């Protein structure tokens, strides 16, 4: 539908690209991670990282393909349609490969716990995680959306600017696997805080990447840490969800503020840099948002560890409901 939009009709772009595509992605994103988590009792973060690595891998393909088709060959409409046909084919193959593992049959009576979802709204570490995700997402996508324009504005060759996003996504493939592997060993909260903080600090380096070597180095490092923080957010939310709450509902709620920030973040920073492209304002704002998100998670980790130690010292009896097999 995006290929059918008419000139000057912004609402058509908003409905197709912003609203419908956003809803469709949200209906796929969380269930896919939940499905993969059913296969693993350990190293779940690494498994989710391997799944998340498909995003920057697809980003490499789509960024090069769309640039080539839209700018050089077919134009906007048929370039978008070619991407849509590729997406349709990949989606059909992906859905045919989905397999839900059967639940093991339990002898006798099945014992299930009553989910107490109200504790999600009363749990301070979880609420701080939502706030961290929202604030961080306001700034993380700014370089992704604007790095090519930034490069051309600073006199970098069109060819290099053309591939800047592909370089960023290429580094992101490793950024979604290596930190997730470390998260299984050293803790997902700790690794997320480090990656989020480094993502923000690297974001400041965009101020000085007006040369070809600087641009390439920035794309590599920012692509790595941006994607690592993004891929670790779902395992982070799963780790921070309080015991007794429904994990699926908790993950769905955790993604909601991130989606809202993704909608308003880049346009808001675009308004900050303005028509005159005052880049330092947007770069500083975006980087401070990402660093601020890491600081909030430090506070969330403090209260999470404190609550965990208290629960281990004073275990609480849980209510169980017996269900006939």
Least confident of 54-58, 129-133, 192-196, 311-315: 311-315
Name which residue leads in pLDDT, 227 or 313.
227
Tell me how many domains the chain contains. 1
Mean pLDDT of 230-237: 87
pLDDT digits (tens, 9 = 90+) for 25-79: 878 877 787 777 777 777 777 887 788 788 888 888 888 888 888 877 788 889 8
Calculate the average pLDDT of the chain. Answer: 83
Run of H or E including 320? strand 320-323
pLDDT for 34 equals 74
Long-range contacts of 204-209, Cβ-Cβ distance < 8 Å, separation of 24 or more: 204/283, 204/284, 204/287, 206/143, 206/147, 206/150, 206/279, 206/283, 206/287, 207/279, 207/280, 207/283, 207/284
Measured CA to CA, the distance from residue 9 to residue 21 in angstroms comes to 18
**210 found inside a domain:** yes
Q: Flag whether 147 is in a domain.
A: yes
Q: Is the pLDDT of residue 325 over 50?
A: no
Average pLDDT of 4-14?
A: 88
Give a yes or no: residue 140 inside a domain: yes
The CA-CA-CA angle for residues 144, 237, 270, to 5°, reads 25
pLDDT at 125 over 50: yes
CATH number of residue 198's parent domain: 1.20.1250.20
Q: Name the residue range of residue 215's domain.
A: 2-100+117-309
pLDDT at 305: 86
Q: What is the pLDDT of residue 131?
A: 94
Burial 257-282 (b: 16+ CB within 10 A, else e): bbbebbeebbebbbebbeeeeebeeb
Asked, for residue 107, whether it belongs to a domain, the answer is no
Residue 316 lies in a domain: no
Q: Is residue 62 part of a domain?
A: yes
Q: Is residue 276 part of a domain?
A: yes
What pLDDT band is residue 321 in, cutting at 50, 70 and 90?
very low
Going by pLDDT thresholds of 50, 70 and 90, the confidence category of residue 115 is low
Percent of the chain with pLDDT over 90: 24
Q: What is the pTM of this model?
A: 0.79
Query: What pLDDT, in 10s, does the model give residues 262-306?
Result: 888 888 998 999 888 899 999 999 999 999 999 999 999 999 888
Judged against a pLDDT cut of 50, whether residue 111 lies above it is answered with: no
């Amino acid at each position: 539908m995006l290929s059918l939009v008419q000139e000057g009709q912004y609402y058509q772009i908003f409905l197709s690209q912003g609203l419908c595509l956003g809803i469709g992605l949200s209906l796929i994103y969380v269930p896919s991670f939940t499905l993969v988590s059913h296969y693993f009792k350990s190293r779940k973060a690494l498994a989710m990282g391997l799944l998340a690595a498909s995003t920057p891998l697809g980003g490499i393909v789509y960024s090069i393909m769309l640039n080539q088709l839209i700018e050089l060959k077919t134009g906007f409409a048929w370039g978008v349609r070619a991407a849509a046909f590729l997406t349709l084919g990949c989606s059909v193959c992906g859905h045919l490969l989905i397999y839900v593992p059967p639940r093991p049959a339990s002898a006798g009576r099945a014992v299930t716990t009553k989910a107490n979802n109200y504790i999600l709204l009363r749990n301070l570490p979880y609420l701080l995680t939502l706030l961290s995700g929202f604030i961080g997402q306001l700034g993380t996508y700014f370089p992704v959306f604007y790095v090519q324009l930034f490069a051309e504005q600073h006199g970098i060759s069109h060819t290099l600017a053309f591939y800047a996003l592909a370089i960023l996504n290429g580094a992101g493939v490793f950024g979604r696997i290596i930190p997730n592997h470390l998260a299984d060993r050293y803790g997902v909260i700790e690794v997320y805080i480090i990656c989020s903080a480094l993502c923000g600090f690297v974001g400041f380096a965009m101020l000085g990447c007006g040369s070809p070597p600087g641009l390439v180095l920035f794309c590599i490092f920012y692509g790595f840490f941006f994607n690592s923080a993004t891929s670790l957010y779902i395992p982070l939310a799963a780790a921070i969800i309080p015991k007794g709450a429904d994990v699926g509902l908790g993950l769905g709620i955790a993604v909601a503020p991130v989606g809202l920030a993704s909608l308003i973040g880049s346009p808001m920073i675009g308004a900050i840099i303005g028509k005159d492209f005052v880049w330092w304002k947007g770069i500083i704002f975006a980087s401070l948002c990402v660093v601020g998100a890491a600081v909030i998670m430090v506070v969330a980790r403090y209260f999470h560890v404190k609550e965990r130690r208290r629960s281990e010292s004073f275990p609480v009896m849980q209510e169980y409901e017996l269900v006939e097999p």
